[in-house]
Structure 1
Amino acid sequence: MTAEGSTFAQRTLGQQLRALREKAKVSQAQAGEALGASPQTIGRLEEGFSWRSANDLRMNALCDLYNASDEERKVILALARETRIAARRGGGWWQPHLDRNTTEFDLYAAAEEQAVRLTAWAVIRLPVLVRTPEYCRAVAWTESPNAPAEQIEARVQRELKRQARLQDPAFTAEVFVSEAALREEWGGPAVMADQHDYLAEMNDLPNVSIRLVPFATRTHIGALIGSFSLLEFPTMPNTRMTQPPIVHIEEHVGDLYLERAKEVAPYQSAVAKLRRSASTRLARADSETPESVR
């Protein structure tokens, strides 16, 4: 059974509330008592339901109970506000990069942490989960050439930390890479050569598949759409419902999250078509001869 009524904003708020509660070693019964609600209400709130419970008064009460930091409280209140907005408009989320930069909270990373499967189509930039540190730095400096070095390094370390997700056998990553993404020289030829070797290394993991869509491929769906990630989620323990998948599209000025079934379906169809178009071989960015990647 799919949780159709739950929006991405609600689910993300619930995940963050659960994390704070567990860190504070507070039970759902104790949290419910603080709100004058049942433990079941707390459980539904943490699984992305009961959005009417996500008012600022209740969120502040939970943050007090969980000894949340000022930054954590700021994230919770922002998510609660977006939850109310999303519930009224029926889902979907546009996050300008300006909003993202006001906090250390990474919305996409939080969703990725909860997902059980990632399917990505990379046109120019490789997904963070399969980047080398130098590739991460090259992208970061290109996007923020005037940023302080320590800010760039902090971003790189956050991105590298996310790669631990690939070590979880319960998580599956399927990445389709346009040949253009391997020929674009992020950081120069040496960085890209190392990056290609790293892709081969990652492809050896049993839960990771990285496949190339070469220039020589006849007309394929990837030529018509930009990079995207499709995230799929597990069944929730309390309600036994499956959280709907989301599509993440990263743009220059912000991130778009799609969750309505009619918006996600075309990307699911695109994934099926990419599987038919993709080769089992990757080509080095500096070579015309494809090399086998196992």
Structure 2
Amino acid sequence: MAKSPKTLALGSALRAARQDKNITLRDFAGQLGIDFGMLSRWENGLRIPKPENVAQILTSLGVVGEQYKGIMTLVRDTAADHWTATSSLEIEQLTAAFRSAEKNSALITSVCPLLIPGLLQIPEYVRAIMVSGTCLTDAEVEERVAARIARQDVLVRPIPAGYTVLLGEAALRQQVGGPAVHLKQLRHLLKMGGRANIDLRVVTFEESWHSMLDGAFHMFTGDTIETTVVIESREMQTWLHRPEHVNRHRRAVRDALDIALSRADSMHFVAGLAHRMEQRFGHLAEVDP
């Protein structure tokens, strides 16, 4: 059976809780009276522990409060066809798993009809979203901006992930943060789009209905995870891992690539938007590239 994202998240949370106490896997297995190999399989998402096993592990490690509650939410429906998070606690757990999958992926695909994806956002763009769309304090905003920018290391590390991003024209025209931020964001896309591991493709308004109009999603493939899909919306996030579900999104990506501008034409399109902004707002010409 394929390892579900929720099972992997549960295993990762159990391993982190044990490591926080500086206890080796073998010593902890002996302490619990559990087979060493079974505990290892639980932590690696290869087997699903029973709720009472998870409770025993957390109690032995002294995990209490919100951390205990958060890990126990991962025990339910671990083998389900999908993982949908709606509560703030569930979304926090899924987001942590999302970041882990992103970090460990060899190939990432983002389909973004309306907004620039997080891996290509500049700090000012992130900040504008956080300030306008949330009720966070200034300190919380800056913490989240820093966390999102740190995630972008996956694209520039010594062995970077391959990244295909399909952008709707609306994402390139929406002036999140105002004209100055927008121009800086366009310039950043041109810079990142020039990297060998990034294939930035634009789908223009000239196209009729297409699969991207169904909404944004991200696809991850790596050595430690099978290909999975995360769908984002304002009120919930859903993670799909069954092959039939993933394949439908693969087809959506292929369909979008069929109508998208070529890589070279996409870069030319973004450059044209930036140039027209510079002409329209002459005082923005000195914005840092």
1:205-216 alignment, distance < 5 Å:
205-216=195-206
Indicate the residue corresponding to 1:123 in structure 2.
113
Indicate the residue corresponding to 1:258 in structure 2.
240
- Say which SS state the counterpart of residue 86 (structure 1) adopts: coil
Indicate the residue corresponding to 1:147 in structure 2.
136
1:170-209 alignment, distance < 5 Å:
170-209=160-199
- d(CA) in 2 for partners of 1:275 and 1:220? 10
Indicate the residue corresponding to 2:151 in structure 1.
162
Indicate the residue corresponding to 1:33 in structure 2.
30
Q: State the identity as a percent.
A: 24
Indicate the residue corresponding to 1:42 in structure 2.
39
CA contact (8 A) 2:110 2:219 kept: yes
Indicate the residue corresponding to 2:281 in structure 1.
none
2:72 aligned with 1:59, yes or no?
no
- d(CA) in 2 for partners of 1:206 and 1:72? 41
- d(CA) in 2 for partners of 1:29 and 1:20? 15
More helix by percentage: 2
Indicate the residue corresponding to 1:79 in structure 2.
74
2:1 aligned with 1:9, yes or no?
no
- d(CA) in 1 for partners of 2:94 and 2:219? 23
Indicate the residue corresponding to 2:285 in structure 1.
none
Note closer, same or farther for the CA distance 1:98–1:69 as it changes in structure 2 (3 Å cut): closer
- d(CA) in 2 for partners of 1:261 and 1:247? 10
- d(CA) in 1 for partners of 2:149 and 2:236? 21
TM-score if structure 2 supplies the norm length? 0.81
User: Where does structure 1 lack aligned partners over 5 or more consecutive residues?
Assistant: 236-242, 290-294
Deviations 1:210-260 (A, max 9, x none): 22122234654324x21111112314xxxxxxx332211111111111122
- d(CA) in 2 for partners of 1:255 and 1:191? 28
CA contact (8 A) 2:73 2:90 kept: no
Letter aligned with residue 172 of structure 2: L
- d(CA) in 2 for partners of 1:166 and 1:24? 32
TM-score if structure 1 supplies the norm length? 0.80
Compute the displacement of 1:160 (Å): 1.4
Note closer, same or farther for the CA distance 1:65–1:268 as it changes in structure 2 (3 Å cut): same
- d(CA) in 2 for partners of 1:25 and 1:152? 32
1:212-251 alignment, distance < 5 Å:
212-217=202-207, 220-223=210-213, 225-235=214-224, 243-251=225-233
Compute the displacement of 1:49 (Å): 2.8
Indicate the residue corresponding to 2:286 in structure 1.
none
- d(CA) in 2 for partners of 1:268 and 1:105? 22
2:100 aligned with 1:95, yes or no?
no
- d(CA) in 1 for partners of 2:250 and 2:94? 31
Note closer, same or farther for the CA distance 1:233–1:72 as it changes in structure 2 (3 Å cut): farther
Letter aligned with residue 50 of structure 1: R
Note closer, same or farther for the CA distance 1:136–1:262 as it changes in structure 2 (3 Å cut): same
Indicate the residue corresponding to 1:240 in structure 2.
none
- Say which SS state the counterpart of residue 12 (structure 2) adopts: helix
Deviations 1:162-202 (A, max 9, x none): 11222331522211111110101111111111111111222
